Amino acid sequence: MRLGQRVKEEPDPGGGHRRRARNIDATGRCRSARPEGACRGAWPLGLIAVAALALGGCSTVPEHPAPEPEICQALLTELDHAISTSTHFEPGLRRIDGHPLLRTNRFLASFTYDELLPNARTAWLGHAFELGRDAYAVESTRLDRDTRQALADRHDFTDLDSRLSSCFLATSPPEALDTSTYRVPDSYSSAARILGLYPVTGLVARGFIAGYRRDMTARYLAGRATRFERRSEYSGPQAADPSALLPVRLDTDALGIPRLSAVEQDALFRRFMPQVVVEQRSDADRIGAPRLDEQGRIEIDTTRPVVFTFPSHTRLGSRILLQLNYAFWFPERPPEHGLDLYAGDLSGILWRVTLDHELRPVLYDSIHQCGCYHKLFIPAGSRIDLEGLDGERPLTFPLPPGLSGDRGLRLRLEAGSHYIIDVGEATPSASTEHYALEDYASQLQLPAGDSARSLFGTTGVIQQSQRPERLLLWPLGVPSAGAMRQRGLHAIAFVGRRHFDDPDLLEALGFTFEPR
């Protein structure tokens, strides 16, 4: 913590108080001191409660009776060996040393396990197991059919999810976990910044960033008046109004994380799914679904428009807010001239809606799937104050007054670059195409012969989508700048360090909103 930094204490749902720094350090993250009175109490609830949380809303049923620990250890050892030698572990998650069933993302890793009250530890372990179980599900799908069958035969199970859930029930909870065992590393290369003389190149980059900001702001301000001669319009699947399936307000678990059933979550995604209007100059401006061709190359099937969804969470003071993420793909970003540093295969947008506990949108933001072009769209009643922000600043745009915000918004995208140049109220259209909603994880297991392959490859960065700009921008520490990448790996600032999924991102951006 820097000298002179203001700190205030806030109640922590996990027990005690969390001391919150109101600005960020050089890594772009708020730092927390150890809370006073934090409880290291005994484990009173047992793993049944953990499993109930982790398996809630899921059809997975643990095997009965639960297998012996040595049986689980043998399975996990062999499964991990098969994944590490034949495919890869999910790069967007951190495997917890010594606990193969548990994984973390940036948000879950922002809790200090040893300082949580027993019921909050129970919830934390449940979330960590859910991440681990879901990761194993896609990783095992990427094994060939014979390997999967051999594992099932040798370890006498028919359903991997059920066996993993049973093993989780049979596992004693860790008494302590050092934060270094579950902290998610950042997505920057410190070595590249050292070799690239970052203190100097970062200063040079600021000038280019200022020009980019002027250009993007001008495009957006002119966007509402820009007429598209040809366009493609996409709306979500036609269905009954999902409002009746939504809770009045969100309940939270012992960590303060909002809880939703699968039905409620699906209804939320349908309620706020965006309408996408794309200026049409070529097939590169049509939304589609990724697939692998016979040679294993990625192509976007524009006859099947799909938007991929996943939930996430962010902190704001003592509150934890739910976020809805919508990802969609285009076949390419075509060159605008002979030497276009930003052109290449595949292009995509990640659109995010942040909700308060009354299910009201309080912020919208977006990036391209390279992590570039972070933009904030601010509804009435919300505010952003970037004065205390270190490094590169995102672009901010107020939304039109009177915007209802009770449904998905309309996004208007420029042809070729696919920049968002206008956001407003969705409008019915007779010419709209309807996209399907699919779980984000389906991209991690694209059919490939008798197994599957991740769209994002072993590193989480799509090599086929590499851009020439990486040859100029490598000193800024973002690996393969401009290439499309997986959730959890989106570095969103060339100057400074910041991620799209940083749990304290909204606090770093000085975000506040008026409660209803």
Do the Cβ atoms of 20 and 10 come closer than 8 Å? yes
Question: What does the pLDDT read at residue 38?
Answer: 36
What parts of the chain have a pLDDT lower than 70?
1-61, 64
Question: What does the pLDDT read at residue 61?
Answer: 66
Question: What does the pLDDT read at residue 32?
Answer: 38
**Cβ-proximal residues to 384 (8 Å cutoff; 6+ apart), any chain:** 376, 378, 396, 509, 510, 511
The tens digit of pLDDT for each residue in 283-335 reads: 999 999 999 999 999 999 999 999 999 999 999 999 999 999 999 999 999 99
Task: For the chain, give every domain's residue range.
Answer: 39-181, 190-452+462-513
Do the Cβ atoms of 371 and 348 come closer than 8 Å? no
Gyration radius of the chain over CA positions: 23
Instruction: Return d(Cα 140, Cα 80) in angstroms, integer.
Output: 9
CA-angle at 121, arms to 118 and 122, nearest 5°: 90
Question: What does the pLDDT read at residue 405?
Answer: 83
Q: Is the dihedral of CA 70, 73, 79, 81 positive or negative?
A: negative
The tens digit of pLDDT for each residue in 376-402 reads: 999 999 999 999 898 999 999 999 988
The tens digit of pLDDT for each residue in 179-220 reads: 999 999 999 999 999 999 999 999 999 999 999 999 999 999
Instruction: Return d(Cα 175, Cα 183) in angstroms, integer.
Output: 17
Average pLDDT, the chain: 88
Instruction: Return d(Cα 220, Cα 200) in angstroms, integer.
Output: 31
Question: What does the pLDDT read at residue 51?
Answer: 45
Instruction: Return d(Cα 203, Cα 198) in angstroms, integer.
Output: 8
147 φ/ψ angles, rounded to the nearest 5 degrees? -65, -45
Q: Say if residue 28 is exposed, middle or buried (CB neighbours under 10 Å; 0-12, 13-18, 19+).
A: buried
The tens digit of pLDDT for each residue in 447-458 reads: 998 899 999 999
Question: What does the pLDDT read at residue 456?
Answer: 98
Q: 157-160: which pairs have CB atoms within 8 A and are 24 or more residues apart?
A: 157/63, 157/75, 159/60, 160/136
